Amino acid sequence: MSSCCAPSAEDQQQRRLLWTVLVLNGGMFFVEFVAGWLAQSSGLMADSLDMLADAFVYGLSLYAVGKAAHFKARAALVNGSLQWALGALILIDIAHKILTGAQPDVSIMISIAVLALVVNVACFGLLWRHRKGDINMRASWICSRNDMLANAGVLVSAGIVSYTGQAWADWLIGCLIALTILVSATRIIRDARAEKVSSCCG
């Protein structure tokens, strides 16, 4: 009886991995959020909230490790719902910046985006072999992959803002990050519902 309830070596490895990426993303969220606020950058603010969404994903995935399929499906459903809410908040923030005409600080954008890219590349590498794992590990890997694309986008937008002196590129990348989060959240919610149905029927 005790052996079937004890966590497997794979479960323990997944917990260590998820704790690692959770700490990295949680710390980077605070750094990037403060920097985005100071720099008045929609791209950095969006990317910081993307980091927060990922921290939620990793935390709930950590909760789901070793649990039954319906628990995993429930955790994934909460993940998707939280990501949807954060994506909507990003769009609201961008609308506010457009209305106020906020101009981002390019030097802060570039330095923080490079740091965030390094962190996300590390997370992506750690999660690579779990990209075809259970629904929560897949969600974690998808978030890490999307983050790298978002960081690259922030760097490109910073270059455009620096060259043109216009903030529209920063607003655009912020919108693209928000839409990426919403699309990923929709996919996670859809998969979680399908998993929930199959676990109930099974």
Query: What digits encode the pLDDT tens for the residues 82-98?
Result: 888 888 988 998 999 99
| CATH number of the structural domain spanning residue 47 | 1.20.1510
Q: Give the residue from 82, 79, 85 showing the smallest Cα distance to 191.
A: 79
Q: Is 67 a domain residue? A: yes
| C-alpha dihedral, 149 to 151 to 153 to 158, nearest 10° | -170
- Residues 28-46 pLDDT 10s: 899 999 999 999 999 999 8
Stretch among 73-77, 120-124, 175-179, 180-184 having the lowest mean pLDDT: 73-77
Is residue 192 scored above 90 in pLDDT? no
Two structure tokens written together for 125: 């590498």
Rounded-to-integer distance, Cα 60 and Cα 13, Å: 16
Q: Is 114 a domain residue? A: yes
Q: Model pTM?
A: 0.75
Q: Is 82 a domain residue? A: yes
Stretch among 10-24, 43-57, 66-80, 83-97 having the lowest mean pLDDT: 66-80
Mean per-residue pLDDT over the chain, rounded: 82
**Which residues contact residue 65 at a Cβ distance below 8 angstroms, ignoring those fewer than 6 apart?**
7, 11, 14, 15, 18, 136
Q: Which residue do the tokens 């929930």 mark?
A: 196
pLDDT for 107 equals: 92
CA-based angle 151:41:29, to the nearest 5? 55
Q: Is 153 a domain residue? A: yes
The residue range of the domain holding 138 is 9-201
How many folded domains does the chain comprise? Answer: 1
pLDDT for 161 equals: 92
Two structure tokens written together for 83: 């990501």
Q: Is 1 a domain residue? A: no
Q: Is 4 a domain residue? A: no
Rounded-to-integer distance, Cα 160 and Cα 123, Å: 27
The model's confidence at residue 66, banded by pLDDT at 50, 70 and 90, is low
Two structure tokens written together for 18: 């998820």
